[in-house]
Amino acid sequence: MEKLISKYFVPGKTFWVDEYIAGGGYEAARSVFEKFDAKGLIDEVKKSNLRGLGGAGFPAGMKWSLVPQTTGKPVYLVVNGDEGEPGTFKDKYIFRHAPHLLLEGMMIAAYANNVHKAYIYIRGEYVDEYRTMARALDEAYAKGFLGKKIFGKDFDLEIVLHRGAGAYICGEETGLLESLEGKKGFPRLKPPFPAVVGLFGCPTVINNVETLSYLRFIVERGADWFAKLGSEKNGGLRLFSVSGHVKKPGVYELPLGIPLKEIIYDHAGGIRNDRKLKAVVPGGLSAAILRSDEIEVGMDFDQLRAKGTMAGSAGVMVFDETTCMVSALHVTMRFYAHESCGQCSPCREGTGWVHKILQRIVEGRGRIEDLNNLLDICSFMGGTTICALADGAAMPLRSYPEKFRAEFEDFIRSGKSIVTPKAKELVSHH
Amino acid sequence: MEPLTLNSQTQALFSAALQAKLDAKVAKYETRRASILEVLHLIMEEKGHIALEDEKNVAQYLSIPPIDVREVMTFYTLYYDKPKAKTRFNVCRTLACHLTGGDELLKYLEEKLGIHEGQMSKDGKCSLKTVECLGACEIAPMMQINDHEYAGNLTKEKIDELLKRVKCEA
C-alpha cells in the first residue's frame, strides 16, 4: 500500500530542507501560483474530500470557503499542533520527521485563503519537536520560501512558532486562540466561528498538522486521485495511532474507511500474548467504546458516527480480555476531571463528581445506585457547555457501563474486579 | 504564593541577553500580551523557574496586570514557580499507560525514590509527579524526564538503569 506522509517516518531521521527538496518537496507550493487562483484551489480541496484530521472531520475545503475575504482585516492561519487527545501521537511524527511537509502545506493553505501570517501552536511537552520545527523554519526562510515575496511571487508569508504550556483544552480551537492571544485557554462561545472572528478578532483558518500535510499530495496528483484513496466523502489516507494491547503499537497510514479489524490484526500485529480482544477505543479517549464484536466497522467519520462513536483523532486504543473496564473508565474520567478548564459548571462539577464516584467504586466502596447516578450526571453534561470537552467525557462515560453493565455491577457488589483482582491495590489515592 | 504588586523600579527588568531574546520574540506577535507563553518559557529556560520577582517583571514588561500573569502561570501545567529538583520524573497515568502496566511502575518508582507522586526528595535531587497523556502511547508505559526526554517501554529493569544513570536512587 502506498504511503504518503508516513514515507518520511524513517526512525531517527528528519528530512531537512535539501533532502526534502531532492524528493520533490516545495514543488507543489511553487506550482499553486500558476495552477490555481485561490478559489480554484479551494474547489480542488473540496473535491478531494479532505476532512479535518484533528478530530472534528469537518470538510477542509468547506472550512476554507467560510472565511470572509472582504472584511478589510487580515486573515490568519493557525496550525493546531497541540495533539492532546489521549491515544493520539501522529502529529509528533510529522514534526519529527517531515517538518517541511507541514510548512509546504501551510504555504498552500495560505495561498488559498489569502493569508500572510500564520502560527504553529505546538504542545509544550514536545520539546525536541519544537526544536526540529524551529530549525526547519529557519531553513525555509533561508531558502526564500518564507518571508517577503515567497518563490519570487508577489506573496508574503510569515510563520511564527508558538509553544503551548500543558493544557488539553488548548487543543479545542477557540481555547487555542485564547492561548495564542496570551490568555488562559477558555473556549469561546460560538458563533461567531473562528473563520469569521478568530485570532485577534480577525478571520482565521485553523487546521490540524496532518490535514495540512496532505495538501502537497492533493496539489501534486489531483483531487480525484486523493478522493478515491478513501471512502465515500472521506478522502485520502489517514494516520492511525494504535496503542494498548497490540503487538506492534505505532502510527499506520491507511485509507479512510478501512475496517477496524484490519488495523488491529493485519497492521498492528494482533493482540499481545495472543489473548482475546475485549474492546477498542476507536478515535481517541473521547470516543465511545466498541466491543470486540463491533470491529468490522469502517474507520471513517460517517461510518463510525453511524455506530454511535466517532473517528475523532484516529487514536485506536486496544483492550485485551484482562482489562478491567471499571478501572479503565476511572482513569479516563480522571483525565477529564483534571483537564476541564473550569469555565462551565456542568463540566467542571460533572467531571469532578464522576471521578469521585468512580474512585469510590474502584476502592471497593461503590454503591449500586452509583451507576444510575453516573448516567444522570452524564445526561446533564452533554450539550450544556461552551465547548465539546464535556460531550467528549460523556461518550466513554455512557458507553462503558452500557456495553459492560454486568462487569460494573459485579465490581460494585463484590468490591473488586472480576478480571484484574489487583486493580484495587493499584488505585492511586492522590 | 505571595500577593503581587507592580514593581516601581525603573532599572532593567532582565539581563541584557535575556532581554534581547524576549524582545525578538515579542516582536513576532500582534500584541505584546500574546507572547506571554513564550516569554515565560524563555525565562524558565534561562533561570529554571519563574520567581515572584520575575512574574512581576513579566507583567511590567508586557504592560499587563500582574494578576493576568498569575492566571496564565497557574492555568498551565508546565511553569514552575519554585526551584525544581535536579532530576524530574513525570509519569504518564492516562489510558494507554494504564493498560500497559503504568500504575505498577509508578508504585515501583515511588519505592525506589522513597517519595510519593507530587513530592520532591529532601535533598532536592529528584521529584516525581503524574501527568496526563504526553502523546507517546506507542511507547507506553512511559514518562518524561526533566520535562524533555521521553523514556518509554518502561519495565522495572529499565527504571533501575535510568535511576542509576541519573543517580537518583533512595
Question: Residue B19 pLDDT more than 90?
Answer: yes
pLDDT value at residue A254: 98
**Burial class of A202 by CB neighbour count within 10 A (0 to 12, 13 to 18, 19+):** middle
Unique residue bearing C-alpha cell 515579542? B26
Among the partner-chain residues A126, A200, A426, the one whose CB lies closest to the CB of B30 is: A200
Residues of B in contact with A317 (CB under 8 A): 95-96, 99, 137
A179, A81: one domain: yes
Mutate to test the interface with A, among B29, B137, B145, B147 (most CBs of A within 10 A): B137
State how far the Cα of A122 lies from the Cα of B133, in Å rounded to an integer: 15
Mutate to test the interface with B, among A210, A243, A332 (most CBs of B within 10 A): A243
pLDDT tens digits for A293-344? Answer: 999 999 999 999 999 999 999 999 999 999 999 999 999 999 999 999 999 9
Residue A98 and residue A15 in contact, taking contact as beta carbons nearer than 8 Å: yes
Identify the domain boundary among A174, A202, A229: A229
Mutate to test the interface with A, among B95, B97, B134, B148 (most CBs of A within 10 A): B95
CATH number of B16-75: 1.10.10
Query: How many Å lie between the alpha carbon of A182 and the closest alpha carbon of chain B?
Result: 4
Asked if the C-beta of B42 comes within 8 angstroms of chain A's C-beta atoms, the answer is no
Query: How many Å lie between the alpha carbon of B139 and the closest alpha carbon of chain A?
Result: 8
In this structure, what C-alpha cell is assigned to residue A237? 489516507
Question: Which CATH number fits the domain that encloses residue A260?
Answer: 3.10.20.600
Closest CA to A133 of A112, A169, A162: A162
Asked if the C-beta of A49 comes within 8 angstroms of chain B's C-beta atoms, the answer is no
Asked if the C-beta of A131 comes within 8 angstroms of chain B's C-beta atoms, the answer is no
Instruction: Map A147-190 to HEC letters.
Output: ECCHHHCCCCEEEEEEECCCCHHHHCHHHHHHHHCCCCCCCCCC
Among the partner-chain residues A127, A281, A323, the one whose CB lies closest to the CB of B148 is: A127
Burial A209-231 (b: 16+ CB within 10 A, else e): bbbbbbbbbbbeeebeebbebbb
Nearest CA in chain A to B32: A182
Instruction: Indicate the SS3 state at residue A56.
Output: coil
pLDDT tens digits for A80-117? Answer: 999 999 999 999 999 999 999 999 999 999 999 999 99
CB neighbour list of residue B13: distance below 8 Å, 6 or more residues apart? B7, B19, B57, B60, B61
Question: Residue B3 pLDDT more than 70?
Answer: no
pLDDT value at residue A418: 80
The complex's ipTM works out to 0.95
Nearest CA in chain A to B117: A430
Query: How many Å lie between the alpha carbon of A180 and the closest alpha carbon of chain B?
Result: 6
Residue A429 lies in a domain: no
When pLDDT is cut at 50, 70 and 90, the band that residue A425 belongs to is low
A213, A76: one domain: yes
State how far the Cα of A175 lies from the Cα of B40, in Å rounded to an integer: 19
The type of residue at B79 is Y
pLDDT tens digits for A180-233? Answer: 999 999 999 999 999 999 999 999 999 999 999 999 999 999 999 999 999 999
When pLDDT is cut at 50, 70 and 90, the band that residue A428 belongs to is low
A114, A185: one domain: yes
Identify the domain boundary among A173, A199, A229: A229
A416, A309: one domain: no
Share of chain A above pLDDT 70, in %: 98
Residue A62 lies in a domain: yes
A163, A266: one domain: no
Residues of chain B with CATH 1.10.10: 16-75
DSSP string across A259-308: BHHHIIIIIS-SBGGG--EEEEE-SSTTSPPEEGGGTTSB-SHHHHHHTT
Residue A315 lies in a domain: yes
Closest CA to A326 of A349, A359, A300: A359
Overall number of domains in chain A: 3
The type of residue at A262 is E
Residue A106 lies in a domain: yes
State how far the Cα of A284 lies from the Cα of A316, in Å rounded to an integer: 6
Instruction: Indicate the SS3 state at residue A253.
Output: strand
A363, A315: one domain: no
Asked if the C-beta of A321 comes within 8 angstroms of chain B's C-beta atoms, the answer is no
CB count within 10 Å of CB B122 equals 8
Q: Which fold has domain B87-166?
A: Glutaredoxin (3.40.30)
Q: Determine the average pLDDT of the residues in A384-404.
A: 97
A28, A111: one domain: yes
pLDDT value at residue B166: 87
Residue A209 and residue A375 in contact, taking contact as beta carbons nearer than 8 Å: no
Question: Residue B10 pLDDT more than 80?
Answer: no
Nearest CA in chain B to A336: B132
Residues of chain B with CATH 3.40.30.10: 87-166
| Parent domain of A242 | 237-320
CB neighbour list of residue B35: distance below 8 Å, 6 or more residues apart? A182, B22, B25, B26, B28, B29, B62
Q: Do A165 and B135 touch (CB under 8 A)?
A: no
Q: Do A125 and B116 touch (CB under 8 A)?
A: no
A293, A277: one domain: yes
Residues of B in contact with A243 (CB under 8 A): 96, 99, 137-138, 140
Identify the domain boundary among A199, A229, A259: A229
Question: Which CATH number fits the domain that encloses residue A416?
Answer: 1.20.1440.230
State how far the Cα of B157 lies from the Cα of B129, in Å rounded to an integer: 20
Question: Residue A426 pLDDT more than 60?
Answer: no
Q: Determine the average pLDDT of the residues in B50-77.
A: 97
A285, A361: one domain: no
Q: Do A182 and B34 touch (CB under 8 A)?
A: yes
A212, A280: one domain: no
pLDDT value at residue A430: 46
Closest CA to A20 of A157, A161, A132, A115: A132
A342, A413: one domain: yes
Among the partner-chain residues B33, B94, B136, the one whose CB lies closest to the CB of A335 is: B94
